[in-house]
Structure 1
């Protein structure tokens, strides 16, 4: 074990470098680029894909294998059981602690993932309201009894911005829960984009036809690699009880196969369609952020382009940093 180093003198601690975030749609090659950057910059990877938090959800989430990680340390993989609910506010604390630890050791933090809100939670000035299980349970019961229409109408009255943005029942219920608990519209908790600390986002862009081809091929590889067996194992471990994990792409479709209500062929095709739809939503989210530097995912010099973006961000960060005071001797 190397000897511990003495802490730097007071006032001489350098500012942390910008966090590097690799974002974009699923299947675009984010994980590979993140590892390439880590190898080039003495970095470590921090996962921002909500479904890769789960132990055992490996094939269906395209979690990087040990071989694919190429010796680069990865953080925030396999931190939850499938029965636990992923929390973006809890992730915010995890991610920022991991990034601070990486930078404190003189290495480079590289955030990677396609879960847009999780990326924003790690990078941006963003607060999260609390939750109340009793309020949420009451709203869920009301939705089950009367349908989502009345809840959506209530949300339109108290928070028209969120009502126009949110579609599925879970998010409508969450928006109403937040309004009840805080008296503020849920949309007020998504302010202007402002980094909490220096950061640079690199987005991977891909021709739509090529992306669709990749996604279809990847789903078929997952099935061939044992996705149905993985789903069966996780079902025995309580997958159906997990509020987050059970909704993962591919897992719900293959639970239906396990139940005898679908076939492998049907589940495969449904997963391909759902994955393409998800990729489209990811692109919509990330393209709305003007801070993302988009690169062609198929460029032969992709890593060189990405490193150039990082170097420019580093230079801008140094230029914007106030001068550090000189270290002083010990007081007499």
Structure 2
């Protein structure tokens, strides 16, 4: 096992949903040893396990996992809070002579940590937020997105137009007096030496993997999970239930989709999500060491980390 005492090193594992990031992280964390930090914008929620593909205790393999189940559905949690908590966790893991693994497919979360984004501290404006939510209901989500394009094109480029919650927050920041994304310094390099590993495969292979996983989610009780959250008193329109998988299950509970149609809708939306994730994690990004999951990627990942920890060459890390 590698001794990481005194190390300021951070391993980041990124890639599209269904590529096996968590499994790889657990395998690597057992080898070096280390602990896993979630960079998933949905796995932060309690009670949402099946639809977020949250790893079970058995799947975690005894490796400590952080930033799972930290807030209730409907509870407000912004990017600045995630970034701050992640830095605290990273520092704690490093101080205990272990290697932190930041793992996830939420590009906003990953790059906020890795690049040290300076996030505008704009307090929630509930009156504005309610007005924007009403406009989204009345005119459609694209109307809000086009408004964001008009006032802050750089921010709009980094946000999925279908993610109404993030579009509203970006508008809230901009209209509340925050600087445009393209203006003012927004990054401060964190004090870590960072290696980024990306997992990828042919698009058809990824689609087949996630389609299989979605079928298993439904068989495992995705709809019952949503019903349980509603039974706990959470509103049907809570932001946690608007993400892929949960919004389709809500449509089923409202009688709008039968199970086969629900499954197909989730698969189509997940395929779209994969395409969006590749916009965040570009295959041409020289900072990311891309590994094809159809090759011997675990051995190659271990080789990369070994070289990175031993600092054999500057080719391994990005900072």
Residues 260 and 155 of structure 1: is their aligned pair in 2 closer, same or farther, counting only changes over 3 Å? closer
How far apart are 1:244 and its partner, in Å? 3.0
**Residue number in structure 2 paired with 1:84:** 75
CA contact (8 A) 1:31 1:112 kept: yes
The aligned runs of 1:149-188 (5 Å cut-off) are 155-163=148-156, 166=159, 167-168=161-162, 169-188=164-183
Shift of 1:183: 5.0
Name the CA distance, whole Å, in 2 between partners of 1:190 and 1:297: 37
Q: For the structure 1 residues 172 and 190, does the alpha-carbon distance in structure 2 shift closer, same or farther, using more than 3 Å as the test?
A: farther
Q: Higher mean Cα deviation, 234-243 or 106-115? A: 234-243
What is the match of residue 231 of structure 2?
Answer: 236
Which of 301, 305, 317 is residue 300 of structure 2 equivalent to?
A: 305
* 2:281 is the counterpart of 1:281: no
C-alpha spacing 1:307/1:242, structure 2 compared with 1 (3 Å): farther
CA-CA distance at 1:191 after TM superposition: 4.8
Out of 288, 293, 299, the residue aligned to residue 289 of structure 2 is 293
Asked if 1:270 corresponds to 2:265, the answer is yes
Conserved in 1, the CA contact under 8 Å of 2:18 and 2:209? yes
SS in 2 for 1:82: coil
Query: Do the aligned residues in 2 keep the contact of 1:103 with 1:109 (CA within 8 Å)?
Result: yes
Partner of 1:135: 128
| 1:198 CA displacement | 1.5
**Distance in 1, Cα, partners of 2:314 & 2:142:** 52
Output the CA distance in 2 between the equivalents of 1:78 and 1:176: 27
- Assess if the C-alpha contact under 8 Å between 1:19 and 1:110 holds in 2: yes
Q: Which moved more, 1:50-59 or 1:25-34?
A: 50-59
Given the two structures, how large is their TM-score scaled by the length of structure 1?
Answer: 0.83
Could you say which structure has the greater relative contact order, defined with CA pairs below 8 angstroms and 6 or more residues apart? 1
Q: State the superposition RMSD in angstroms.
A: 2.8
Question: Within the alignment, does 1:225 sit opposite 2:220 as a pair?
Answer: yes
User: 1:207 and 1:152, CA in 2 relative to 1: closer, same or farther beyond 3 A?
Assistant: closer
Q: Secondary structure at the match of 1:50?
A: coil
Deviation of 1:232 (Å): 1.0
Structure 2 regions of 5+ residues with no counterpart? none
2:16–2:274 Cα contact (<8 Å) kept: yes
Cα contact 1:18–1:317 (8 A) shared by 2? no
Q: Alpha carbons of 1:308 and 1:271: their partners in 2 closer, same or farther (altered >3 Å)?
A: same
Q: CA deviation at 1:145?
A: 5.5
Q: Would you say 1:208 and 2:208 are equivalent positions?
A: no
Name 1:116's counterpart in structure 2: 107
Moved more, 214-223 or 182-191: 182-191
Contact 1:175 1:186 in 2 (8 A): no
Partner of 1:329: none
**3-state DSSP class of the match of 2:52?**
coil
State how many pairs are aligned.
Answer: 307
User: Separation in 1 of the partners of 2:142 and 2:244?
Assistant: 26
Which string of whole-angstrom CA distances, capped at 9 and with x for unpartnered residues, describes residues 1-52 of structure 1? xxxxxxxxxxxx9753321011100100001000011001111111111111
Whether 1:99 aligns to 2:61 is no
Q: Cα gap change, 1:46/1:289 in structure 2, threshold over 3 Å: closer, same or farther?
A: same
Partner of 1:252: 247
Aligned-pair distance for 1:237? 2.2
